[in-house]
């Protein structure tokens, strides 16, 4: 009898456990993990600090990995470029609200913050402001997420972890999972070190190796996923190895963790990639993959006998394999929704550029090989003359690193270091370091370090450092430093100037000179105002964050009763907190006199406005003064007589902006 009761009790307990397990599974299925991310890149660090070249592009690359492989949906990703402290606070509030909404809907949430830019031992340097580590940590910890991961790639960023015992160690997160809770802070350098970036890889060392890890370099056994532990350990080793012989010395990543749980935190899932590249078991050596712009996408060590998978955006890639003293190259197309394979048979031999190490030629230091400084480069001082180039060679031409290239029709090259002259078109599928001159157009898929000169178009998809001159259209992607001079200038982020009829940019740190200047996030301000009740004017101020073009139309009252008028001018805006101040000068034409439209009695006047308003963004009020100069011989008195001398008339200005 006792045995029967015991058996019944065990059966009941088993049934209860099965029911609980089923309920847990259903809850888990109904409550998937939702990952939120805030990614920031800031090339500027304020007055007295050198402007970085790759912080913004590092941030864009990291954001791409999160959306492609890291499970972050486009709507759950916030990307800030060169933000100030107010922009960070606003973005942090948006993430907090989104995570709270996800939790309320029964979803488990995770949060990832990434920053690349300047910092010191006190905080992040956002433009002219500093975001203290204390405030940064508080903002991260306020996000109601089960797991919070912060990654800082900046100088002295180890100060974020030092305050709670963070240390320089090769690995962490030994036992973490999707059931865990807590935080992990990762920094690219210790509290006393400088974070370094490299022109060779076109990125900072730490972020570059971290992204390589997340794309599959840290998955040597081909499991199809990369954990945070694996990614950090790989980035730590590779960053240290890459910086041991640099000017600033070894760079040590650091971390601080406070996590509980079991298993592994999967940071990227390579099986979810839109396109993938499988590395055959027979491959071995150091593998370099460059995209169609010439950017180094992934760099990894491939061990013979293991199959690896790399998650990549769709496109064509140039691969170079360095195995001991042998170097070979291949080209592979990674199609959207498919998987390409690289095997030993796909590679062909690659000539090695003869170089001599500086210093002890017999015992050169153990540093990055000469190949790494000029991937896929050969014949660095040769003279090329392509009279009728083979157009079928495509973008991955064998012409590489020529000192001078003359082409009657069309010239192609890869990573040109020198000068290229063509009657019609120059195309460089890698990077340009020198000068391009063409009768029609120049195009560089990577970065143009030098000068492009063509009458129709100059294109540098990876940005430029130098100048694009006299193109009907000049186009630059990425981060650029220098000048664009042409009829229409288009740039992603340019530090310098744009000189043309129309200047367009995502962001410009400098002074554009043109009739129409447009910057994303710049000034777009419809206005309605009156000046001492002399008439009603409506206009539009549009341009960059500082400089704008002003166009207006209205009706005049008084000496030219209700006569129509138009004006066009230029000005500058100063923003201080929620307030703004405008100073502009316009040329105004009044058509007729006494209410009649009479072009024969056109009056021209010069007007200057100085005004202040609130708020700087959105609808607001404006108040100020206007000085109108009556031009001699062009303006008329009430009796119709021409004004004999220049005369200024002050007026009060009241208005609204929309």
> For 97-156, how does the pLDDT look when each residue is reduced to its tens digit (9 = 90+)?
999 999 988 888 999 999 998 887 788 888 888 899 899 999 999 999 988 999 988 875
User: Of residues 277 and 264, which shows the higher confidence score?
Assistant: 277
Per the CB < 8 A criterion, the answer to whether 110 and 147 are in contact is: yes
Q: What is the mean pLDDT of the chain?
A: 77
- Note the helical H segments in 112-261: 133-142, 159-162, 205-212, 228-243
User: Of residues 340 and 32, which shows the higher confidence score?
Assistant: 340
Compute how many other C-beta atoms are within 10 angstroms of the C-beta atom of residue 602: 14
Q: Does domain 524-634+641-657 have CATH number 2.40.160?
A: yes
Q: Give helix then strand counts, H and E, for the chain.
A: 8, 40
Burial class (CB in 10 A: 0-12, 13-18, 19+), 615: middle
3-state helix, strand, coil in the chain (%, to 5): 20, 45, 35
Rg (CA), the chain: 31
Which of 215, 182, 38 is CA-nearest to residue 114?
A: 38
Architecture of domain 31-272: 3-Layer(aba) Sandwich (3.40)
Domain 275-349, CATH among 2.60.40.10, 1.20.1050.10, 1.10.1270.20, 1.10.150.20: 2.60.40.10
Percent of the chain with pLDDT over 90: 22
Q: Is the peptide bond before 615 cis (omega within 30 degrees of 0)?
A: yes
> For 63-78, how does the pLDDT look when each residue is reduced to its tens digit (9 = 90+)?
999 998 888 998 899 9
Give the model's pLDDT for residue 623. Answer: 95
Q: What is the 3-state secondary structure (H, E, C) of 21-37?
A: HHHHHHHHHHCCEEEEE
**pTM, 2 dp:** 0.50
Q: Where are the domains of the chain?
A: 31-272, 275-349, 383-506, 524-634+641-657
User: Of residues 243 and 335, which shows the higher confidence score?
Assistant: 335
> For 159-191, how does the pLDDT look when each residue is reduced to its tens digit (9 = 90+)?
444 333 333 333 332 333 445 677 778 877 665
- The secondary structure of residue 328, as a DSSP letter, is E
């Amino acid at each position: 009898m006792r045995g029967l009761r015991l058996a019944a009790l065990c059966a009941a307990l088993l049934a209860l456990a099965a029911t609980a397990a089923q309920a847990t599974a259903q809850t888990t299925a109904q409550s998937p993990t939702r990952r939120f991310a805030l990614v920031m890149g800031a090339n500027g660090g304020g007055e007295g600090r050198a402007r970085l070249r790759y912080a913004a592009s590092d941030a864009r690359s990291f954001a791409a990995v999160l959306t492609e492989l890291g499970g972050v949906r486009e709507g759950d990703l916030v990307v800030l470029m060169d933000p100030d402290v107010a922009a960070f606070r606003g973005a942090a509030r948006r993430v907090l609200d989104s995570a709270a909404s996800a939790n309320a809907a029964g979803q488990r949430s995770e949060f990832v913050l990434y920053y690349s830019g300047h910092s010191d031992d006190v905080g992040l340097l956002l433009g002219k402001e500093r975001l203290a580590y204390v405030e940064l940590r508080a903002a991260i910890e306020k996000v109601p997420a089960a797991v919070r991961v912060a990654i800082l790639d900046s100088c002295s960023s180890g100060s974020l972890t030092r305050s709670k015992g963070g240390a320089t160690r090769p690995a962490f997160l030994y036992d973490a999972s999707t059931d865990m809770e807590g935080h992990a802070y990762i920094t690219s350098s210790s509290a006393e070190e400088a974070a370094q970036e490299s022109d060779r890889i076109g990125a900072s060392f730490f972020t570059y190796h971290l992204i390589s890890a997340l794309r599959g370099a840290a998955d040597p056994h081909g499991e199809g996923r990369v954990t945070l532990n694996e990614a950090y350990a790989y980035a730590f080793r590779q960053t240290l190895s890459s910086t041991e012989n640099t000017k600033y010395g070894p760079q040590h990543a650091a971390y601080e963790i406070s996590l509980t749980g079991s298993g592994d935190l999967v940071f990227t899932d390579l099986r979810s990639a839109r396109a993938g590249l499988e590395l055959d078991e027979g491959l071995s050596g150091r593998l370099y993959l460059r995209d169609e712009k010439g950017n180094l996408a992934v760099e990894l060590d491939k061990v013979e006998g293991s199959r690896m998978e790399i998650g990549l955006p769709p496109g064509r890639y140039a691969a170079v394999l360095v195995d001991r003293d042998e170097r070979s190259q291949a080209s592979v197309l990674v199609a959207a929704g498919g998987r390409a394979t690289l095997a030993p048979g796909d590679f062909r031999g690659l000539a090695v550029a003869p170089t001599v190490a500086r210093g002890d030629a017999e015992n050169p230091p153990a540093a990055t090989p000469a190949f790494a400084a000029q991937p896929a480069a050969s014949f660095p001082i040769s003279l090329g003359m392509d009279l009728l180039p083979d157009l079928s060679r495509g973008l991955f031409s064998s012409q590489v690193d020529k000192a001078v290239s003359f082409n009657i029709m069309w010239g192609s090259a890869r990573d040109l270091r020198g000068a290229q002259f063509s009657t019609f078109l120059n195309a460089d599928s890698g990077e340009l370091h020198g000068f391009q001159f063409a009768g029609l157009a120049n195009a560089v898929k990577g970065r143009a370090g030098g000068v492009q000169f063509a009458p129709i178009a100059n294109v540098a998809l990876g940005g430029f450092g130098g100048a694009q001159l006299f193109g009907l259209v000049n186009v630059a992607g990425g981060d650029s430093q220098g000048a664009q001079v042409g009829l229409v200038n288009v740039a992603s982020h340019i530090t310098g100037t744009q000189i043309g009829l129309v200047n367009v940019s995502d962001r410009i740190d400098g002074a554009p000179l043109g009739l129409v200047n447009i910057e994303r996030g710049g000034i777009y301000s419809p206005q309605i105002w009156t000046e001492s009740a002399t008439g009603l004017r409506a206009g539009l101020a549009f341009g960059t964050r500082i400089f704008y073009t002003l166009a207006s139309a209205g009706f005049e009252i008084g000496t030219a009763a209700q006569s129509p008028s138009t004006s066009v001018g230029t000005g500058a805006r100063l923003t201080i907190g929620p307030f703004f101040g405008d100073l502009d000068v316009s040329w105004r034409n009044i058509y007729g006199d006494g209410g009649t439209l009479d072009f024969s009695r056109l009056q021209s006047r010069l007007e200057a406005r100085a005004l202040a308003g609130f708020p700087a963004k959105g609808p607001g009020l404006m108040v100020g003064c206007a000085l109108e100069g009556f031009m001699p011989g062009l303006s008329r008195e009430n009796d119709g007589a021409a004004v004999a001398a220049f005369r200024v008339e002050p007026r009060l200005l009241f208005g609204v902006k929309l």
